[in-house]
Structure 1
C-alpha cells in the first residue's frame, strides 16, 4: 500500500466503481452451489499472541477466529461457474502496483453471478459459521469483491507482506498447483506489531496448504501479516470477498486514508459514509446498506 506523500497522490485520483448489469452470457447463480457442512482446521487469534482483552466480545460470543481452512465452500459445479465468470471479467482487469499482477475491483457490481453469490443466505451463513460471527458483504462497495490474476511476469516485488484493512476476508482459489509454480499463500504466526519482515528460516512463517482447486481460506485479515510468493509459471486466479460483522462494526479496522489511497477520495466517501452512519439495529441497518440478508447469532447456533 502507498504511504506518505505517495498515498496522498493516490487518494487524489478520481475513480468511480465500474458497474454493469452482468456479463453477457454468464451463468446464473444457484443456491445449490454452496457446499454443505463446510468445516476445516481453525486457528484462533490467541494462537497468534493476541490477549483475551484485545478481542471483540459481546452477545455471548468472542471474536477469536484468526484463520480457517482450507475448505471447499462451493460445489464443483459452482466452482466451474465462478471460474467462467472470472475468466470473462479478466478483460476488465487493471494493473496493480502492490500485491497482485492484475485485478478487478468491485467485481460484484460487474457480475450478477458474483453479486448474487455473496448475498445468498446459504453462502453468508457458511462464511459466518467459519468466522464464528454473523457476516454480511462489506458496505464499502469497491473493495467488497476483488478478483486477482497472478501471472509469471518476472516481478519479484509482487511479494508484499501486508495486513488488510478488512477484518473478515475469504479467499477462493480458482485453480490449483498443477496450473502454476510459486503463488504460495504464506502468513506470519504472530501479532501484527511483532512483524519486522520475513526472514528465511523463521519458524513463524507458515504456508497455508491451498494447492487444491476451489480451496477457500478465511482470514482475520487486519490482524495477520500475509503474502503470496511470486508465480514463476502459469497463472493463479483468486476471488477475495470482504465482510463486515454488523455487531462489531464500531471496531471495524478500516481507515479512510487506507481506502482512499487505493480507490481515490471521491470513490471512497460514499462507502465510508454508508459504513460510519449511526445505526439503531446493527443486523438490520447494515444488512440494508449492503443489500444483504440478515444473519443473526441465533442463525449460527441453529
Structure 2
C-alpha cells in the first residue's frame, strides 16, 4: 500500500500487478499524420499554445504484451471507479495503485517519442492524479463517456486499453477549429458543423492519439450497445518559459476533492516555481539588467507561490470544463 495521508486511508495497490518492462512492453509505430493548429485557422493557437501541434493521427507505443497487460490492469481497477456529472465512470490517481501504469507514465523512451510528436519537451505531469486517468463505459448507455470539453493540461494522449473493433458508438471526436469557436456554438445551443467534427480510427487496443488538450475541443460519445470500452488519458507538462501552463485548481477541486487537489496543487506549483527560478537564474541575471527589473522578476515568482498558498485558505468547490453532450 502507498501511504496517502490526504485521503485518510491508503491507496490499495493491485495484488496482481505487472512490473513495467520497456524491453517487453514498448513497440513504437509513429502516426501517419500530425495536424498543426495553423491548419484550423489563425485563431486556433491563441496566445497560450505551447507548440504548433494540435493533434496526431493514431500511433502505437505498446507491444501486444504491453497492450494486454494494460487492458488487464485497467479492468481490475474498474472496481475503484466513481462517477460525476461530466464523466459517468472514471478512475483517477491510477499510478498510485499500479507499478505498470507508473512505469508507462514515466518511461523516458515513451516521453522522448511523445515530445518529438508534440514538438516541445514533455515531462510527466506533476499533478499525478492527471497521470493515467481512466475512462470506463458508462453503466447508463444514454450518457456520453465524456462531454465536449477542452483539457486543463498542456498535452495528453487518449489510448484505447480495450479493443475498439466491433464497438458501436463510443467514438473519440474532436472539433477541427479554434476551441473558442466551438465553445461559443455549444454554449449557444447550436450544433457543431459536421464537416469540422473528426473521429480517428483506432486499429486495435494499444493505439492512441496525442493532443494539445487545452487547445483541442473534444468528447467521447455514448455507446450504442454495451462494450467494455476503456480509454487511458495520460497528461503531460510542457514547461515553456513565458507561457503559463493551463493546469488549474478548480478542475482538481471538483474531480478529486479538496485534500487531494491541494496536495497535488502544491507539488505542481513547486515545480513551476523551480522551473521559473532556474530560467531566471540562467537567462535574466546578467549585469546589464537594472536592479529594479531583477527585483520585479523575483517578486512575480514569489507572488505566484503566495497565490497558490492562499488557495488553502479558501473554501472552494471547484468546477469542471463542460460544454455539454452536443448532438
* In 2, Cα distance between equivalents of 1:29 and 1:175: 19
Counterpart in 1 of 2:127? 140
Query: 1:203 aligned to 2:195?
Result: yes
Counterpart in 1 of 2:180? 193
Among 232, 237, 242, the alignment partner of 2:224 is 232
Instruction: Please state whether the residue corresponding to 2:235 is helix, strand or coil.
Output: strand
Among 100, 105, 109, the alignment partner of 1:118 is 105
User: Cα distance 1:180–1:141, how it changes in 2: closer, same or farther (>3 A)?
Assistant: same
Counterpart in 1 of 2:248? 255
Counterpart in 2 of 1:47? 39
* In 2, Cα distance between equivalents of 1:170 and 1:81: 18
User: Cα distance 1:255–1:20, how it changes in 2: closer, same or farther (>3 A)?
Assistant: closer
Among 91, 95, 113, the alignment partner of 1:104 is 91
Deviation at 1:27, TM superposition (A): 1.7
* In 2, Cα distance between equivalents of 1:189 and 1:30: 37
Q: Within 5 A, what are the aligned runs for 1:157-236?
A: 158=145, 160-195=147-182, 196-197=185-186, 199=191, 202-233=194-225, 234-236=227-229
Query: 1:85 aligned to 2:73?
Result: yes
Moved more, 130-139 or 175-184: 175-184
Query: Residues 19 and 110 of structure 1 are in contact (CA less than 8 Å); yes or no, is this contact kept in structure 2?
Result: no
Among 17, 27, 36, the alignment partner of 1:26 is 17
Deviation at 1:200, TM superposition (A): 6.6
> TM-score with structure 1 length normalisation?
0.79
> CA-to-partner distance for each residue in 1:84-142, whole Å, 9 max, x for gaps?
1111111111123213x311101001111101111111121122122111111110122
* In 1, Cα distance between equivalents of 2:9 and 2:112: 28
Among 224, 240, 244, the alignment partner of 2:237 is 244
Richer in strand (by share) = 1
Counterpart in 2 of 1:264? 257
> CA-to-partner distance for each residue in 1:250-272, whole Å, 9 max, x for gaps?
52112222321222232212222
Counterpart in 1 of 2:291? none
Q: What residue ranges of structure 1 are gaps of 5+ in the alignment?
A: 1-14, 283-302
Moved more, 194-203 or 206-215: 194-203
Q: What residue ranges of structure 2 are gaps of 5+ in the alignment?
A: 1-5, 280-327
* In 1, Cα distance between equivalents of 2:55 and 2:44: 17
> TM-score with structure 2 length normalisation?
0.73
- Size of the aligned set, in residue pairs, is 264
> CA-to-partner distance for each residue in 1:234-290, whole Å, 9 max, x for gaps?
1210111000013358521122223212222322122222222322337xxxxxxxx
Q: Which structure has the larger Rg over C-alpha atoms?
A: 2
- CA RMSD, 1 decimal: 2.6
Instruction: Please state whether the residue corresponding to 2:262 is helix, strand or coil.
Output: helix
> CA-to-partner distance for each residue in 1:184-213, whole Å, 9 max, x for gaps?
111111111111126275311111222522
Stretches of 4+ moved more than 6 A in 1? none
User: Cα distance 1:201–1:45, how it changes in 2: closer, same or farther (>3 A)?
Assistant: closer
* In 2, Cα distance between equivalents of 1:94 and 1:88: 14
